[in-house]
Amino acid sequence: MSRTDYGDVERGDVVVPGRPVKVHRYSGGARVNHWLTAICLVLLALSGLAMFHPSLFFLSALFGGGQWTRTIHPWIGVVLFFSFFGLFVRFWSANLWRRDDSRWIAQANDVVAGREERLPEVGKYNAGQKLVFWSMSILIIILIASGLVIWNEYFGSFTSIQLQRWALLVHAIAAVVAICVWVVHVYAAIWVKGTIGAMTRGTVTGGWAWRHHRKWLRELVSMQKGKRTETTTHSS
């Protein structure tokens, strides 16, 4: 079977029989990549807010003062960009929008009420997770682009004051939206029990996968059965 036959299955996804059944959802590399990105986002939010308004300047003490905050902030942004790029390469294909995702969004009331049995079967990521993924992808591009324009130490001589002012406004708006998206992401991870454990341990139970991501589990089981059949055929 080709990779395209199982659009929601990523490398490393495996069902392990047992009591309970365990499903490998995230590899060790993916988890390290995710948490590095998360740490960068938190540090950027704190250092950015310290420079955003005088009432929040006390946050600069976390970074050694105002000068250090101003110096460190853009470098953390560079690390975030490359770290998120790693996540993008890993996860983009499973986050492609599908027809069932539009139906899932249209039944938002059932999502909030926890009536998952009424929803379309979900692949590895539901429509909400996909919206977060693509929103952050766009926002991080905007943040890195506008951030380079206002990074005077290295790029100040290549831009005008007027362009820097516009870039600063765009950067601030994108940062606020990114923080809001991040808060929604964290809230959803806490709300759906087992989600955080999946990104710390890398595995979920078969029951969890069946309840929350049934289409993904079906594809994964089908793929493994197909591989076993091919192995048996070749060995005969």
Domain of residue 5, residue span: 1-25+202-236
Q: Is 120 left (phi over 0), alpha (psi -120 to 50) or beta?
A: beta
Q: Same domain for 74 and 160?
A: yes
Sheet strands (E) in 13-101: 14-16, 22-24
Whether 152 maps to a domain, the answer reads yes
Q: Express each pLDDT in 202-211 by its tens digit.
A: 999 999 999 9
Whether 109 maps to a domain, the answer reads no
Taking a C-beta distance cutoff of 8 angstroms, is the pair 131, 102 a contact?
Answer: no
- Mean of pLDDT values over 70-92: 96
Q: Same domain for 49 and 16?
A: no
Whether 132 maps to a domain, the answer reads yes
Residue 110: C-alpha distances to residues 1, 168, 194 (Å): 35, 40, 20
Predicted confidence at residue 110, as pLDDT, reads 87
- The catalytically annotated residue of 34, 73, 171, 185 is 185
Is residue 171 annotated as a catalytic residue, yes or no? Answer: no
Tell me the residue type at 166.
Answer: W
Tell me the residue type at 220.
Answer: L
Q: Same domain for 168 and 128?
A: yes
- Count of the separate structural domains present in the chain: 2
Whether 100 maps to a domain, the answer reads no
The pTM for the full model equals 0.89
Q: Same domain for 9 and 36?
A: no
Q: Express each pLDDT in 98-135 by its tens digit.
A: 999 999 999 989 888 888 888 899 999 999 999 999 99
